[in-house]
Chain A
Amino acid sequence: MTTEPVHAGGTVALEGEQLDRLITALSERKFEVLGPKLHDGAIVYDRLSSLNDLPSGWSDEQSPGKYRIKRGKGDALFGYVVGPHSWKKFLYPPVQRMWQAERNGKGLHILPNHDSAPSKFAFFGVRPCELSALAIQDKIFLGGPYVDPGYKARRENLFLVAVNCTQPGGNCFCASMNTGPKAVAGFDLALTELSQDGHRSFLVEIGTAAGAAMLSGIPHRPATDADKQLAERVLAHAARHMGRKLDTRDLKDLLYRNYEHPQWDKVAERCLSCANCTLVCPTCFCTTVEDSTDITGNHAERWRRWDSCFTVDFSYIHGGSVRATPRSRYRQWMVHKLAAWLDQFGVSGCVGCGRCITWCPVGIDITAEASAIRQSDQAKAPAEQGRESE
């Protein structure tokens, strides 16, 4: 056991119980540590004060439209996948006041929000697909000519502890989207939970100098080849056991050329337009604004809240909504996610986390919808289709 300094790019091993000291170290450095916690029958993201807050020994069962927690086989700390929450709620709050205004006579006066010290978050237990989702939201809020100042402040202070997925869930397809089950970039520290002969340890990859600094003072040992091989083995196993698959070959053009595919009508018969998929999606970023005044009429506020392309109001312009039917709204969401996103941001809007499948009340499965369109690509000659299905 040593507390020798470690460096970005290095890999060390922590014995199971030492991981608690990482949470302590983060708290001591004034981070608000957030991570998975059992709450109301689901694993959600909330404030952690120690390792005991993690849903140790719990697992989850996910299929289209279904989520149940259950006791896992062992006492793994990270034996579940993603629940209804995603990290975006911390960086990009669901409801946020943007500014206030006071009326004085005919004039008015705008009062910007003066944040006290911006939040300093440590996300503990970020899954590889979620790291990709974060990188996508960075492109949206920081990558263009305009920057969201609140997102920027919170993002700059962020400390990221990733956890690789050794037990993929029933709706997971990160392997198809190239976002998991192993984190390759974008973390300060990345953990792989290893369990052998009842002994638990964590392989810790150090992504940044900040990650290395956080480990100093926490007893660890050099990672052995055996540790690394075991981690590789469990992650390779996880990659082969994804609950779902999405064939991404030519997917953008496939969807663009099938705007009038009959599958959109079929899915619209089931889709409730409830917006659950967009709210649980870790990359969906749409918002609306609300303006209000107090009872005197002299004080106004402007709030921003998460919105969804599934609402009728979303596309309203004078004369009516552009996307008046559920068919067009589902199509907008899916074509945006899997196709237009590539044109807009150079990357797919889907990270394969499976939340939209799990939390859809009627169990619509984005991978099945894409596959149904691929099976009967309207723009292809029937002969060609026949050959492909042979």
Chain B
Amino acid sequence: MASAIEQPEIAAAAAAADPMLPALYSIQRVRQETDDTFTLELVPEDSHSSFGFRPGQFNMVYIFGVGEVPISISSDPGSLPMLKHTTREVGTVTRAMRQLKRGDVVGIRGPYGSCWPVAKAVERDVVIVAGGIGLAPLRPALYRLMAEREKFRKIVLLYGTRTPEDILYRQELEHWRGKFDLEIQVTVDRAASNWRGNVGVVTTLIPRAPFDPSNTFALVCGPEVMMRFTVMELEKRGVATERIYLSAERNMKCGIGFCGHCQLGAVFVCKDGPVFALNQIAAILGKSEI
């Protein structure tokens, strides 16, 4: 299917070899981020690894004998060969992953999929709307934006989580806010009385967020219902449909278009996505059980 968005080139070597064979990475650190999320910090066993990725892409992460799951890359594209994957403990594989220690080895296949249109957003405002762990696949885009901050106009992060304790990458966000010109607005579903910030869904931040809708790229990732309402609010503000990008999630067994599991209407989330221009999936966004 013809894709309207930036598609990373696939290294010929990666495509030619057996694409189902993982490369080995050892764990440098397992970092607890919040109550139920953690980050694996990984380095390749192969010191000649030529792994490179673009913000928004994902890897298939294999845990010995347990299974393999797709997880977006959440590290800085500029700090390779170190890779970071932030995930939530929700299933058999991620629970086993949480038990891993420094020095344990995992399998990595990737990077797969499409990427955020960072290069296209030069000279424009960028609004990033994230829900919960949806911030993880957006963090590499933030690294890119911060690394070349002067190339972009306003950069706004609108971030919704369940509680203040669920805010990911808190220190980093505060560091960026202090160092660069980055507007961050956080809202939570519920909080104790000492929370002075916003309470409510993330879409409530959009109407008053400081960006120029006629010249904005919007990057959105979170639960599907959150993305659907975010799109409605962004369009209401006047952000052009073709400048709204979303990252979708589906079951995946291969990551390369063979297993069929990740289909979302006519697109494969693994190879046409996970990052989609809104017009690629607008017709099915909001339809149930697609």
Counting CB contacts under 8 A, is A336 at the interface? yes
The number of A-B residue pairs with CB atoms under 8 Å apart is 127
- Give the dominant DSSP class at A's interface: mixed
The distance in angstroms between the C-alpha atoms of A8 and B261, with both chains bound, is: 41
The 0/1 profile, CB within 8 Å of A marked 1, for residues 220-240 of chain B is 000000000000000000000
The distance in angstroms between the C-alpha atoms of A315 and B264, with both chains bound, is: 10
Q: Contact at A149–B253, with CB atoms within 8 Å?
A: no
Q: Considering the complex, which residues of chain B in the window 6-44 have a beta carbon less than 8 Å from any beta carbon of chain A?
A: 10, 15-16, 18-22, 24, 26
Q: Considering the complex, which residues of chain A in the window 288-302 have a beta carbon less than 8 Å from any beta carbon of chain B?
A: 288-289, 291-293, 297, 300, 302
Q: Contact at B21–A108, with CB atoms within 8 Å?
A: no
Q: Contact at A288–B259, with CB atoms within 8 Å?
A: yes
Chain B: which residue is nearest A342 at the CB level?
B266
In-complex Cβ contact of B15 among A146, A259, A325, A327 (8 A):
A146
Q: Contact at A146–B257, with CB atoms within 8 Å?
A: yes
The distance in angstroms between the C-alpha atoms of A256 and B284, with both chains bound, is: 9
Q: Contact at A107–B266, with CB atoms within 8 Å?
A: no
- Identify which of A302, A327, A332 gathers the most chain B CB atoms within 10 Å of its CB: A302
The distance in angstroms between the C-alpha atoms of A3 and B112, with both chains bound, is: 54
Q: Given that A106-B104, A322-B251 are known contacts, is A144 also in contact with B257, CB under 8 Å in the complex?
A: yes
Q: Contact at B253–A325, with CB atoms within 8 Å?
A: no
Counting CB contacts under 8 A, is A239 at the interface? no
Q: Given that A108-B105, A292-B65 are known contacts, is A286 also in contact with B260, CB under 8 Å in the complex?
A: yes
- Chain A: interface size category: 35 or more
Top 4 nearest A-B pairs by Cβ distance? A286-B260, A328-B289, A293-B65, A300-B65
> Number of B interface residues, CB 8 Å?
47
Q: Contact at A144–B271, with CB atoms within 8 Å?
A: yes
Q: Given that A147-B15, A344-B268 are known contacts, is A110 also in contact with B24, CB under 8 Å in the complex?
A: yes
Counting CB contacts under 8 A, is B125 at the interface? no
The distance in angstroms between the C-alpha atoms of A53 and B6, with both chains bound, is: 55
> Which one, A97-105, A200-208, A351-359, is touching chain B?
A97-105
Counting CB contacts under 8 A, is A309 at the interface? yes
Q: Contact at B64–A315, with CB atoms within 8 Å?
A: no
The distance in angstroms between the C-alpha atoms of A314 and B24, with both chains bound, is: 27
Chain B: which residue is nearest A294 at the CB level?
B65
Residues of B near A319 (CB, < 8 A) are 90
Q: Contact at A315–B251, with CB atoms within 8 Å?
A: yes
Q: Considering the complex, which residues of chain A in the window 324-351 have a beta carbon less than 8 Å from any beta carbon of chain B?
A: 324-325, 327-328, 331-332, 336, 339-340, 343-344
In-complex Cβ contact of B105 among A98, A106, A325, A339 (8 A):
A106
Q: Contact at A141–B253, with CB atoms within 8 Å?
A: no
Chain B: which residue is nearest A150 at the CB level?
B18
Q: Contact at B266–A344, with CB atoms within 8 Å?
A: yes
